Amino acid sequence: MYKILRKEMLTPTICLMDVEAPRIAAAALPGQFLIVRAREQGERIPLTICDYDRDGGTVTIVTQIVGASSRMICALETGEALVDVVGPLGRPSDFVEMPDEALKGRRYLFVAGGLGTAPVYPQAKYLHERGARVDIVVGAKTADLLILRREMASVCDHLYLCTDDGSEGHPGLVTEKVKLLLAEGREYDQAVAIGPMIMMKFVTLTLKGSGIPLVVSLNTLMVDGTGMCGCCRITVDGKVRFACVEGPEFDAYAVDFDEALRRQTIYRPQEIEADHKCKIGRN
């Protein structure tokens, strides 16, 4: 059992938890994910690691209520426990292989959409601590859906907020803000985009031809997290890859986003049915 030491509702549907998991915290690196189960008969849910505290022995997860299993996780309270937390899984971000002296002064642009802010945080934190220059663009539909603003501001040189409705920051999409930054003459050695698949697709189209390498995280495709179910199959550079064991991060310019968008809808009818049963208290 993995005890929940802290719970905070970041929005009415997005929950942050610090979970007691010393062995996972000791091994976790930016870019990796966990498999979480709320109860014995519960579904195995892949969640990216939002943060880790090696000294305190905790990992931080952020969950958005989108179906039955995520609803079960978010229903747990401080002092209760998750039945299973497995990890860290997946390949860490490529930059963890680079020596600290190579990261110092290197320029990174992160583009986060919605819940994608959570996995961006540990990456930006890792780089910022090693002297990299980090700019972050965060987008959400409305101001009240912008999460982790204080935390993100503490691990970057510039934080740019965007809202679709113009309620805070740049009034419009993250891609518009990225274009403005490039038009101002901003130069970057590497860009990373994490968020909804459609957002990552259009960030890729925006940066294509800029000469800036771009990595995207395909964590939203994962189901079992071990490569056995095959649900996270994706074509990258003309080859079939598995996001959970070969990723979740890939070269954005090589990803077949149209295929990825189709794959995300495969189990939507079953998700709707399961969530309905969860809401009315049926197993």
Q: Are residues 147 and 74 in the same domain?
A: no
Q: Give the CA-trace dihedral at 111, 266, 279, 222, to 10 degrees.
A: -50
Q: Are residues 71 and 165 in the same domain?
A: no
Q: Are residues 156 and 52 in the same domain?
A: no
Give me the pLDDT at residue 264, please: 62
- pLDDT for 52-111, tens place per residue? 999 999 999 999 988 888 899 999 999 999 999 999 999 999 999 999 999 999 999 999
Q: Is residue 12 part of a domain?
A: yes
Closest CA to 89 of 7, 156, 31: 31
Q: Is residue 242 part of a domain?
A: no
Q: Is residue 213 part of a domain?
A: yes
Q: Which of 77-86, 162-171, 231-240, 245-254 has the lowest mean pLDDT?
A: 231-240
Mean pLDDT of the 249-277 span: 70
Q: Is residue 246 part of a domain?
A: no
CATH at residue 80: 2.40.30.10
Q: Are residues 109 and 212 in the same domain?
A: yes
Is residue 280's pLDDT more than 80? no
Q: In angstroms, what CA-CA distances link 155 with 7, 124, 129, 148?
A: 22, 6, 8, 11
- pLDDT for 122-157, tens place per residue? 999 999 999 999 999 999 999 999 999 999 999 999
**The residue to which tokens 């039945």 are assigned:** 83
Query: Phi, psi at residue 277, to the nearest 5°?
Result: -65, -40
Q: Is residue 250 part of a domain?
A: no
Q: Are residues 176 and 201 in the same domain?
A: yes
pLDDT-derived band at 282 (thresholds 50, 70, 90) equals very low
Mean pLDDT of the 230-251 span: 83
Share of the chain above pLDDT 70, in %: 89
Q: How many domains does the chain have?
A: 2
Choosing from 31, 56, 89, the residue where a domain stops is 89
Q: Is residue 137 part of a domain?
A: yes
**Rounded Cα distance, 151 and 142, in Å:** 19
First-to-last CA distance in the chain?
21
Q: What is the pTM of this model?
A: 0.88
Q: Are residues 41 and 147 in the same domain?
A: no
How many helices (H) and strands (E) are present in the chain, helices listed first?
10, 16
Q: Are residues 130 and 198 in the same domain?
A: yes
DSSP one-letter string for 162-187: EETTSSSSEES-HHHHHHHHHHTT--
Mean pLDDT, the chain, rounded, equals 89
- pLDDT for 168-206, tens place per residue? 999 999 999 999 999 999 999 999 999 999 999 999 999
Mean pLDDT of the 28-41 span: 90
Greatest mean pLDDT among 112-116, 158-162, 246-250: 158-162
Mean pLDDT of the 4-15 span: 95
Is residue 219's pLDDT more than 90? no
Q: Are residues 79 and 40 in the same domain?
A: yes
Is residue 283's pLDDT more than 60? no
Residue 61 sits in which domain range?
2-89
**Rounded Cα distance, 114 and 187, in Å:** 25
Chain center to CA of 251: 16
Mean pLDDT of the 257-263 span: 84
Mean pLDDT of the 271-275 span: 45
**Rounded Cα distance, 179 and 203, in Å:** 10
Q: Is residue 247 part of a domain?
A: no
Q: Are residues 184 and 153 in the same domain?
A: yes
Q: Is residue 240 part of a domain?
A: no
**Mind spelling out the 3-state secondary structure of 34-92?**
EEEECCCCCCCEEEEEEEEECCCCEEEEEEECCCHHHHHHHHCCCCCEECEEEEEECCC
Is residue 30's pLDDT more than 90? yes
Q: Are residues 108 and 140 in the same domain?
A: yes
Query: Phi, psi at residue 140, to the nearest 5°?
Result: -155, 165
Query: Phi, psi at residue 186, to the nearest 5°?
Result: -65, 135
**Rounded Cα distance, 141 and 11, in Å:** 13
